[in-house]
Homo-oligomer: A and B are copies of this chain.
Amino acid sequence: MLERYERAVQYYETDQMGIVHHSNYARWFEEARCFILDKAGLPYAKMEENGVLVPVLSVSATFRRYFKYGDIFSLHVAITKFNGVKMEVSYKVYNKASGELCTEGCSSHCFVKSDMKPFNMKKEMPEMYDTIYGLLNSSEI
């Protein structure tokens, strides 16, 4: 399932080159990731309350065009891999006004308990497993 997350660039996200500082993209990816989990009935705040943490294993981003203050970004996000232990999420960030693809990215995550140890989600938390599995999109985003 492909979802879109949109918002305006914030002034504090710019740097003196006059563009969005690249460290913000990992934050935009996180916003979009939490947005789709929330929409699927799995708000991340609740997951943590239930003792499940989702640390980041890797993150990458490629920049083709730069966002500026005044732009609105439209972030297309999809879960592209999931096996109950690990999850991969893919991102394409478009300039909403021009429709141009500006940034592509990917992040991978594991699911652990509060002690930072992995667990068998399919067995221990089948409902959560089914919800995330339902978001899985094997096709290109």
Contacts and interface: CB of A to CB of B under 8 A. Distances in A.
A27 B16 contact: no
Interface in A11-26: 11-12, 14-19, 21-24, 26
Contacts of A63: 55-58
Given A26-B22, A43-B70, A69-B45, A15 B15 contact: yes
A31 B69 CA distance: 12
Contacts of A66: 55
Contacts of A53: 17
Copies of this chain, count:
4
A44 interface: yes
Interface residues of A, number: 37
Chain A interface secondary structure, helix, strand, loop or mixed? mixed
Interface in A59-109: 59-63, 66, 68-70
A19 to B, nearest CB: 7
Contact of A60 (B27, B43, B61, B68): B61
A59 B57 contact: no
A59 B56 contact: no
A24 B12 CA distance: 10
